[in-house]
Chains A and B, each alone.
Chain A
Amino acid sequence: MSTTAATRTGRPSRGPLTDLLTGGGRARRLLWLLVGLWVLFSLVRVLSGEQELTSSSTLSAALLLAVPIGLAALGGLWSERAGVVNIGLEGMMILGTWGAGWAGYQWGWVGAVVGGMVFGAAGGLLHAIATVTFGVDHVVSGVAINILAAGVVRFLSELLFTEGTGGGPTQSPSLASDPPSFSLPVLSSGPDLLSGLERQHWFLVSDLAGLLRGLTNGVGLLTLLAVLLVPVSYLLLWHTAFGLRLRSCGENPAAADSLGVPVYRLKYLAVVVSGALAGLGGVFLVFVAGIYREGQTGGRGFIGLAALIFGNWRPGGLAAGAGLFGFADALQLRSQTAVVALLLLIAVLLAVLAVHQAVRRRLLQAVIAGVFAVAALVGFLTIDRLPEGIVFFTPHLTTLLVLSLASQRLRMPKADGLVYRRGEH
């Protein structure tokens, strides 16, 4: 508070309203952002009549879809913070799904978790050997791992899921046991107060109820674990000596090495953990389906990478990115008409942007934003429902748009993707 106030005195006051909205540092701004989103979504829901937009079922589906992406992104965070770009997340996730399917049908869900993480970690180890020990370009090694992983799982399936097991070359037998799940008593199970509130379709109140119920009803063990892993990673990487050392490998490995940080060992550790987390994302997918199926990951490892970049290589940011993607994906899965309501949302956002730019006398940007806002509004009013092929890529398009709006402010770890050889720098 005091530091921002100090810097503020240099500028002329912009009135009490502006100070209320923009003052108070990061926490306050974040709070306003969330409140703004809440009001916006509620408004769009009421205007468009698309109840699915903020229903608890959409939001719990969003959480379900966000978790594997978030886990992959967390994996990316560990590896890239240590300076190793990990395009191989997708491959490690594929290995994780197979490991979970194979171990899960024999030893139940605990076995699946262990199996998936071990297989993912094995992929990470391979990436670490190639990039850290042999100094291979990180993207190249990652792509090779993606190709290799697809071949390995098909091969192993053909080998192990044959006669009598109930599986086949493209899928495993079903898991021996399901993981437990939890609901918050009273609020979202039993009397289920939130569900009652949600059904009233009140402005703002029902949206909040839908959000809370979606996040607390029938939450799986792994979801809980995944959500907890975000703050845990944050604390480990940003508030311990170990984390500082690990991040120093991603910022300036030569300097870290000169101070006695075991750069190679930490990079190895980070990439193996990265693989294990991606593998855990794969386990989660297997839990959702109750079975391993080929192609189950559907490029979620790549999306995780995008979420990581969107989140500016920070745990909170990547969680937000995964959430955004999960929400867009859940919306397109649940209702094709609700996706059209997103156009109204975009129209409102762009209109706000246009006004903002106009106030700052950037007329060209204001006009462009205004034109697109009108186009989005026209789209919302005229399009009834979007065809299947188009709806399918809503999340990817959202990611691309958000990235192209936000990318210039992002800063990746300074030595990310650079090959480090001791004594060569």
Chain B
Amino acid sequence: MSGLVRRVGLSLLGPVLAVLVALVISAAVIALIGENPVEAFRVMTDLGDSPSQQVQSIVVILNRAVPLFLSGLAVAVAFRMGLFNIGVEGQYRLATILAAAVGAAVVLPGPLHVLLIVVVAMVVGALWAGIVGVLKVTRGVSEVISSIMLNFIALGLASFLLTGPLRGSPPGASIVTTAEIPESGRVPSLNGLLTALGLATPRSGLYGFLVMALVVGVVVAVLLKRTRFGFDLRATGLSPSAATASGVDARGMVVKTMLISGAIAGLVGLPDLLGSQYDYGTEFTAGLGFLGIAVALLGRSSPLGIALAALLFAFLDRAALPLQFADIPSSVVTIIQGTIVLAVVIANEVAGRLALRSAERAGATAGPGPQTDGDDGVPPPTAPDGGQRVRTGAPGTPEDVQA
């Protein structure tokens, strides 16, 4: 019983420790430049005075969190398999421009139109990520390097498509964009829902894609936890040799995982595209892919954790503007984000090691008990999540289990 309490306590220790460390470091940074940290944190958490302002702030946070959540999911699916998909950035940019072009070129009845755009985005993302998988299994190219190179290639291709064949804005316009997606291809906002809940109507619309993101999150959670495929995927991530020995086709798994990861990555640009922009242009939201990596790390690769991490990052992003108004450098936000990620990965590692040690101690006091006793205590509380990936490559892991 006390073992259970200890284990739960230790699994919470990581995130709590990380947030504390990040807060202290950020406060120190803010104090260093001669501003009052308490004042800065007050500015960041102040959502507005009137109810409509507060609702507006929450809508801004949610609208930012939706793409971050999808991006984090895309990275996490690959993560769980021990693959590092740095290419989400390129995957979503290429997918978004092609989806925008297709969406603008056809006219279909409402839901079908949106469905077509979504399918195009997912297919493009999946194919682009699939290149990484195929290169890895057939030619042994590290997925980290190939996805970085493909990022550059995708960005180049997107800029070529935008200024060339897919250009929709009139020549001479200051912002180059694709043609606008007609009404039938747009996702309506959820503001009606807000009003029905008795909240004030915000200035901007809450993305209807929020629902889609939730569905994707649930599907990914079920896929990872409740299907044979998900089991194989996680098993391959934890121990490739053990998975291969039990009959998992590791090469096929790499390609399939990259395809799924890429398909989700293809969705990343759609909330903005179908919810507020309606075309892809030079000003389209950039950097979501890289932030997704941070979100996935922070959420420890579990869908629920990623949702929380995406909300946290969106909250911090929203704070940039008020901070600027208060004459505090808004780059504090990026520093906080970077510090949180670094603190979280370190804290996970430390908490994992503490758990291991306490389990070992528990095993030692119990004497040379049965084999299962030791096995039971060994996996650190981080086991099901991204923190575990840290240990996957280590040849020490099998020995731990034998101990």
Number of A-B contacts (CB under 8 A): 159
Q: Are A135 and B390 in contact (CB under 8 A)?
A: yes
With A147-B290, A158-B331 given, is the CB distance from A390 to B156 under 8 Å? yes
- Residue B213 at the A interface, CB < 8 A? no
Starting from the known contacts A135-B353, A137-B389, 7 additional A-B residue pairs (CB-CB under 8 Å) come to A143-B294, A144-B342, A147-B341, A152-B338, A155-B334, A158-B329, A419-B394
Residues of the A chain whose Cβ atoms lie less than 8 Å from the Cβ of B148 = 299, 302, 305-306
Q: List 16 A-B contacts (CB under 8 A).
A: A130-B346, A134-B349, A134-B350, A143-B294, A144-B345, A146-B290, A147-B290, A389-B161, A389-B163, A389-B164, A393-B153, A393-B155, A400-B149, A403-B145, A418-B394, A418-B395
With A130-B345, A392-B156 given, is the CB distance from A143 to B339 under 8 Å? no
Residues of the A chain whose Cβ atoms lie less than 8 Å from the Cβ of B51 = none
Contact among B33, B158, B342, B399 with A130 in the assembled complex (CB-CB below 8 Å): B342
Contact with B along A269-311 (1 / 0, CB 8 A): 0000000000000000000000000000001001001100100
Complex Cα distance, B86 from A425, in Å, reads 30
Q: Are B161 and A400 in contact (CB under 8 A)?
A: no
Contact among B29, B139, B150, B162 with A408 in the assembled complex (CB-CB below 8 Å): B139
Residues of the B chain whose Cβ atoms lie less than 8 Å from the Cβ of A147 = 290, 294, 334, 337-338, 341
Q: Are B335 and A155 in contact (CB under 8 A)?
A: yes
Complex Cα distance, B155 from A418, in Å, reads 32
- Residue B3 at the A interface, CB < 8 A? no
Residues of the B chain whose Cβ atoms lie less than 8 Å from the Cβ of A309 = 142, 145
Residues facing A in B107-124 (CB within 8 A) are none
Residues of the B chain whose Cβ atoms lie less than 8 Å from the Cβ of A306 = 145, 148-149
> What distance in Å separates the Cβ of B140 from its nearest Cβ neighbour in chain A?
5
> What distance in Å separates the Cβ of B18 from its nearest Cβ neighbour in chain A?
11
Give the A-binding residues of B (Cβ under 8 A). Answer: 29, 33, 84, 86, 135, 139-142, 144-146, 148-150, 152-153, 155-164, 290, 293-294, 297, 329, 331-335, 337-339, 341-342, 345-346, 349-350, 353, 389-391, 393-396, 399
- Residue A378 at the B interface, CB < 8 A? no
Chain A, Cβ-Cβ closest to B389: A137
Chain B, Cβ-Cβ closest to A392: B156
For the complex of A and B, the 5 pairs showing the least CB-CB separation, nearest first, are A389-B160, A151-B334, A148-B338, A393-B156, A154-B331
> What distance in Å separates the Cβ of A165 from its nearest Cβ neighbour in chain B?
16
Q: Are B331 and A141 in contact (CB under 8 A)?
A: no
Give the B-binding residues of A (Cβ under 8 A). Answer: 87, 126, 130, 134-137, 139-141, 143-152, 154-155, 158-159, 299, 302, 305-306, 309, 387-390, 392-393, 396-397, 399-400, 403-405, 407-408, 410, 417-419, 421, 424-425
Chain A, Cβ-Cβ closest to B154: A393
> What distance in Å separates the Cβ of B232 from its nearest Cβ neighbour in chain A?
22
> What distance in Å separates the Cβ of B92 from its nearest Cβ neighbour in chain A?
17
> What distance in Å separates the Cβ of A193 from its nearest Cβ neighbour in chain B?
40
Contact among B160, B162, B332 with A155 in the assembled complex (CB-CB below 8 Å): B332
With A158-B329, A399-B149, A407-B139 given, is the CB distance from A136 to B345 under 8 Å? yes
Chain B, Cβ-Cβ closest to A87: B144
> What distance in Å separates the Cβ of A253 from its nearest Cβ neighbour in chain B?
11
Chain B, Cβ-Cβ closest to A424: B396
Q: Are B346 and A134 in contact (CB under 8 A)?
A: yes
Residues of the A chain whose Cβ atoms lie less than 8 Å from the Cβ of B150 = 400
Chain A, Cβ-Cβ closest to B163: A389
With A134-B346, A159-B329, A302-B148 given, is the CB distance from A419 to B390 under 8 Å? yes
Chain B, Cβ-Cβ closest to A390: B160
Q: Are B297 and A144 in contact (CB under 8 A)?
A: yes
> What distance in Å separates the Cβ of B245 from its nearest Cβ neighbour in chain A?
21
Chain A, Cβ-Cβ closest to B135: A404
Complex Cα distance, B150 from A405, in Å, reads 16
Residues of the B chain whose Cβ atoms lie less than 8 Å from the Cβ of A155 = 29, 329, 331-332, 334-335
Residue with the highest number of chain B CB atoms closer than 10 Å, among A137, A393, A400: A137
Residue with the highest number of chain B CB atoms closer than 10 Å, among A130, A140, A143, A410: A140
With A134-B350, A387-B160 given, is the CB distance from A145 to B334 under 8 Å? no
Residues of the A chain whose Cβ atoms lie less than 8 Å from the Cβ of B163 = 387-389
Q: Are B33 and A159 in contact (CB under 8 A)?
A: yes
Residues of the B chain whose Cβ atoms lie less than 8 Å from the Cβ of A421 = 396
Chain A, Cβ-Cβ closest to B335: A151
Residues of the B chain whose Cβ atoms lie less than 8 Å from the Cβ of A130 = 342, 345-346
Residue with the highest number of chain A CB atoms closer than 10 Å, among B158, B293, B399: B293
Contact among A151, A154, A389, A419 with B159 in the assembled complex (CB-CB below 8 Å): A389
Chain A, Cβ-Cβ closest to B75: A143
Complex Cα distance, B53 from A211, in Å, reads 65
Complex Cα distance, B337 from A143, in Å, reads 12
Residue with the highest number of chain A CB atoms closer than 10 Å, among B149, B153, B161, B396: B149
Q: Are A140 and B345 in contact (CB under 8 A)?
A: yes
Residues of the B chain whose Cβ atoms lie less than 8 Å from the Cβ of A392 = 152, 156, 159
Residues of the A chain whose Cβ atoms lie less than 8 Å from the Cβ of B329 = 154-155, 158-159
> What distance in Å separates the Cβ of A282 from its nearest Cβ neighbour in chain B?
18
With A387-B160, A407-B141 given, is the CB distance from A145 to B342 under 8 Å? yes
Residues of the A chain whose Cβ atoms lie less than 8 Å from the Cβ of B290 = 146-147
> What distance in Å separates the Cβ of A251 from its nearest Cβ neighbour in chain B?
13
Contact among A400, A404, A410 with B153 in the assembled complex (CB-CB below 8 Å): A400
Chain A, Cβ-Cβ closest to B350: A134
Chain B, Cβ-Cβ closest to A90: B148
